[in-house]
Copies of this chain bind each other. A is one copy, B any other.
Amino acid sequence: MESKHGSFKTIHLRTEKHIDFYDITSEIESQVSDSGVRDGILLVFTPHTTAGITINENADPSVRSDIREFISRNIPHQSYFKHLEGNSPSHIMSSLFSVSETIIIQDGQLVLGTWQGIFFCEFDGPRNRKVYVKIIGD
């Protein structure tokens, strides 16, 4: 069997809000199909320090708005912060959500639950953002 590892793509996004979640599942599923990989893993990674990647419910959008509201209220600016850019809350959110997710590829399909979508997390928008997607497998 010919090795197919090495598929690497970049997704470009323009975010519109300060904090928001963008569903990138379908772009990623297309890349899995295009790669021809049947058996492996996929890494979604964003190269920004005030953004993240998360997997959560893709059905009711109020789940994302509740998460957004909760983190906005619970990770606010603090008078003791010293970072002059003023966006330390965005950096904290990035470390707590983390900048990547790893997903199984089995029988040529991304293995996600029925209600799971993959989301780019904007924590300091609006901005132009990138997400890297790497597939390794056969």
Nearest B residue (CB) for A117: B49
| B95 adjacent to A56 (CB under 8 Å) | yes
Q: How far is the CA of A99 from the CA of B57 in the complex (A)?
A: 12
In addition to A45-B104, A49-B113, A66-B82, 20 A-B residue pairs with Cβ atoms within 8 Å of each other are A5-B39, A5-B40, A41-B43, A43-B102, A47-B116, A48-B115, A49-B115, A55-B99, A63-B91, A65-B82, A66-B80, A67-B91, A67-B92, A70-B78, A71-B92, A96-B97, A100-B103, A106-B134, A111-B134, A136-B136
Per the CB 8 Å criterion, the residue count for chain A at the interface is: 60
Q: How far is the CA of A15 from the CA of B32 in the complex (A)?
A: 33
Q: Given A67-B91, A113-B49, are A101 and B98 also a contact pair (CB < 8 Å)?
A: yes
A22 touches B (CB below 8 Å): no
